[in-house]
Structures are given as C-alpha cells and as structure tokens.
A and B are shown apart, each in its own frame.
Chain A
C-alpha cells in the first residue's frame, strides 16, 4: 500500500519531521483561535503560496485539497444562507488553510520519519497501557491483515459463486470475519513464539 508522500524533492523535504509537525500544530491552533477575516485571508494567501511552491511534490495531496475547497464552499454557503456571509468566508478559508498545512506535511515527510516522531510523542501514553513501543510492528501487521481481507474476500466470493451462481455480496461479511478472527489467533500464536511476547 502506498503513502501520500511525494518522491519529487522540494525545499520542504529538507526540514526535520519534528519541526514540521510542531509548526503545523502551532499554526493550526493560531488559525483556530483567530476569527478575524483579514487575518484568515492573509494566512490563506501565505499558505496557498507555500503549497504552490512545492510544485509537483504536492500532487499526491491535491485531491484532498479539492475536497477541502468543496466542503468549505458548502459550509460558507450555509453561513451565507443564514445571514453570516463573512463568518462563512472566514470559516471556509480556515478549513482550506489548515488542510493545506496538513497536506504539505504529509507530501514532504517520509512515513518512517513521521513514525519516529509519533513514537516519541506518544511515549507518555505507554503508562495508560497503550502499546506505543510496538507501533511499527502493529502498523506492519495492520497493513498485512488489510491485504489478507481482500484475499479472503476473493476466495469466499469465488466459492459462493461456484455454489450458487450468484454474487455473495454482504452475505460474505460474517464468514469473512470468522476467517479473519481465526487467522488473527494463528498470527498471535506465531507472535508469542517468535517474539517471546
């Protein structure tokens, strides 16, 4: 499974992942706290310029930004319909700005680098019982299981079609769940032996 990271280099690729994450958090908090339309418009213009400066590197995230623009237009329209057009404009600009900030981080930071920062940030949660130190292992397992879901679904669908001549559709969900639960139990046994968990 691919990520939304862009291999096409840009100036933002050279910044450390932790710094980018910190700047994203800081700027999005500021954007949420400030409601003045002029500030929102200025921030939007600056962020749009930054986003455009990434050039082709922004390509994997452009669809998300388009979704944000459409959603913002609808939110703005709703505000306008209730007699608050300026609030609608400010809210719409904020939504697109923050989405572009997030998109910039995702497009220019490798999955592994973000994972490292996330593990460091989440380490205090280990005290609450969250298996933070095993985040990389869990993510790997998750992606493998996601693949397995499709393989198993295909097998069940083929078997159902051979038996009945029809497509299984939602009827396959419950047997698929049972298959996957049994698979997960086997994986747990293997993990317990190999990793001495």
Chain B
C-alpha cells in the first residue's frame, strides 16, 4: 500500500500549491491598472486569471482557487484592481461579476476537460481553451454580472444586459490571450493535465 499512499499525498500537496498559485495569479493581474466604465463596473485583467485557472487546473481546483482569492479579498486584502478589497466590494454594483469567479472557473474547467482529448496537439488545446474561456469567462461571468446589476443596482434586465455588452469585445481578446498561453504551456510542459484531463 505504500505506493498508493505516496501517490495520494503528493496529489494533495500539488493541489494546495496549484490552488494558491492561481489565486496569486489573480492577485498579480489585479496590479494591472483597471479602466472604469459607467455603472461602476471596471474593465480589469483579472477575468483572464479566472479563465486561465479553469483551463489549466480543471473545474474543482479552479473553483477552489477562486474561492481562496475571494476569501482573501473578503478578509480585507486589497487584491482587486485599483487596490480594492474588504467586505464592501461585495455590495458594489459589480459584485455579481466577482461572485461569478468560482463558477466561471469551474465551467471553463468542465468545458476544457470535455473538449480536450488525451493526445490533443497544442493547437487543438488552444482552441479548446478559447471555447472554455468563452463559456466560463464570458457567458457565466456576464450572467452573474447582469443578475448582480439587477439585484444590487435594481436595473431592469435590458438595462443590465446592454451595460454588460460593452465588456464582451475586451473579453474576447482575453480569451485569445488564454488560448495563446495554453498553447505555449502545452509545448513547454507536455505532461500538463489541462482542465484536469487524463493523460
């Protein structure tokens, strides 16, 4: 039994390190200056980190990394773009986008795992990452964002949906960036289990 036990312990340690790493990646993206748009919703680089966490780690660990990041923000660390943090950020009109992070990473991870085959080429993995990022980083994030605008800012569905559309072109650029990163990582680390896929 020692082999099984050793394998199990190594996986747990790797999980802890990877979850912390991708939460840190989000914090690092938060240092990139944000662009404020009407309705108090900023364009930030942080959703790139959400997409990347899902594509690289898979649904479960991607979800955990985002929960860890949001816990750090809630506990008062100024990790969001513009040095924001603390409980107050969860009451801003943009709170829906923030709360979406764990679910968005999980959906991106699920799509990545479903699309990426055992022996996919880097180009195919990049295409899968683009699709996964669109599903998690655009569809899920904006669905939660619209809900947040409706609940917290009491906007109508149409008002909130029109407000959120402004972000979509920028988000598509982020999806392409994630695809590019996945392509490079697939060439540099061929044993990486994108989206938690089996090798």
Contact = CB atoms under 8 A, between A and B. Distances in A.
Interface of A: 1-5, 24, 28, 32, 35, 61, 63-65, 67-68, 70-72, 74-75, 78-79, 82, 87, 90-91, 94-95, 98-103, 105-107, 109, 111, 114-115, 118, 122, 129-131, 134-135, 137-139, 141-146, 148-150, 153, 170, 173-175, 177-178, 180-185, 187-189, 191-192, 195-197
Nearest to B163: A78
B76 A130 contact: no
Interface string B117-152: 000000000000000000000000000000000011
B87 A102 contact: yes
A114 to B, nearest CB: 5
Given A95-B93, A174-B185, A181-B189, A74 B39 contact: yes
Contacts of A98: 88, 91
A82 B154 contact: no
Interface string B60-73: 10001001110110
Nearest to B48: A173
A174 B64 CA distance: 23
A75 to B, nearest CB: 4
Given A143-B24, A197-B12, A102 B90 contact: yes
Given A75-B153, A101-B88, A197-B13, A181 B21 contact: yes
B91 to A, nearest CB: 3
A61 B154 CA distance: 25
B64 A102 contact: no
B14 A139 contact: no
B91 A101 contact: yes
26 contacts: A4-B76, A5-B76, A32-B152, A61-B86, A61-B88, A65-B88, A71-B94, A75-B39, A75-B40, A100-B88, A105-B86, A114-B75, A118-B74, A130-B67, A135-B71, A141-B20, A142-B20, A142-B21, A142-B27, A145-B23, A174-B184, A182-B189, A185-B14, A188-B18, A189-B10, A196-B9
Interface of B: 9-10, 12-21, 23-25, 27-28, 31, 38-40, 52, 56, 60, 64, 67-69, 71-72, 74-79, 82-94, 151-156, 159, 177, 180-181, 183-185, 188-189, 192
Contact of B24 (A64, A131, A146): A146
A150 B32 CA distance: 12
B24 A149 contact: yes
Contact of A192 (B10, B75, B152): B10
B89 A146 contact: no
A148 B25 CA distance: 10
Nearest to A21: B87
B72 to A, nearest CB: 6
Contacts of A111: 75-77
A106 B14 CA distance: 32
B16 A114 contact: no
A147 B91 CA distance: 28
Contacts of B67: 130
Contacts of A145: 20-21, 23-25
A175 B187 CA distance: 11
A191 B68 contact: no
B159 A78 contact: yes
A174 B21 CA distance: 15
A3 B78 contact: yes
A60 to B, nearest CB: 8
Contacts of A95: 91-93, 152-153
Contacts of B155: 75, 78-79
